Amino acid sequence: MMLLAGLFTQAIPVSGAGRILLLLPLCLSIAIVYKAIRCPEPRQIPAAVLPLWITIVVAMYVIGALLWTVFNLLS
């Protein structure tokens, strides 16, 4: 029980590529929920999720790279 409680009370250190990779399941869950709400039939959801997921991930990485570049230019 204490081990499970520790997961919620103590931060798990994530650094380097782990931070970037954690964006993938987050964007996938957002795409699944969004398409589950918008698609009229459940059969359409898997085919609709993949393009949206790729779009979200690419957009997030591009925006992050642009902000990082602006930060480095200004500092």
Length of the chain: 75
Using a cut of 0.75, tell me whether the model's pTM lies above it: yes
Distance of CA 68 to the CA centre of its chain: 18
For 45-54, the pLDDT digits (tens) are 999 999 999 9
> pLDDT by residue (tens digit) across 57-72?
999 999 999 999 999 9
- Rounded to a whole number of angstroms, the distance between the first and last alpha carbons of the chain is 46
Percent of the chain beyond pLDDT 90?
Answer: 75
Domain ranges of the chain: 17-74
The rounded mean pLDDT for the chain is: 92
